[in-house]
Amino acid sequence: MTYLVTFRSHFDAILTNRALKSAGVDVRLMPVPRSLSSSCGTCVVFPLAPGQPIPDRVEPPVEVEHVYRQRGPDWELIQ
């Protein structure tokens, strides 16, 4: 399953990208798709295997705007 996380600031997106890479997650930093809105316009996208938990914390703490899960060509808001 693929997840997309949006942020209120570009800096939070960069910190999350670094933290997920350090944790061994295959993550990409990219512009937010036009179908979604975001304060900063930058998001992280990453796949997780079934049963693999979504990382719940990034150090230092970041402010997440929304978390989406990919459903076919669309994104479903989950948080």
* Angle, CA 74 vertex, CA 61 and CA 42 arms, to 5°: 35
Give me the percent of the chain exceeding a pLDDT of 70: 94
Kindly report whether the global pTM for this prediction surpasses the value 0.95: no
Q: Share the mean pLDDT of the chain.
A: 87
Q: Is the model's pLDDT at 24 over the cut of 90?
A: no
pLDDT in tens, 39-55: 788 999 999 888 877 77
What's the CA gap between 75 and 10, in Å, rounded?
21
pLDDT at residue 59, as a whole number: 63
The whole-number average pLDDT for the span 48-64 is: 76
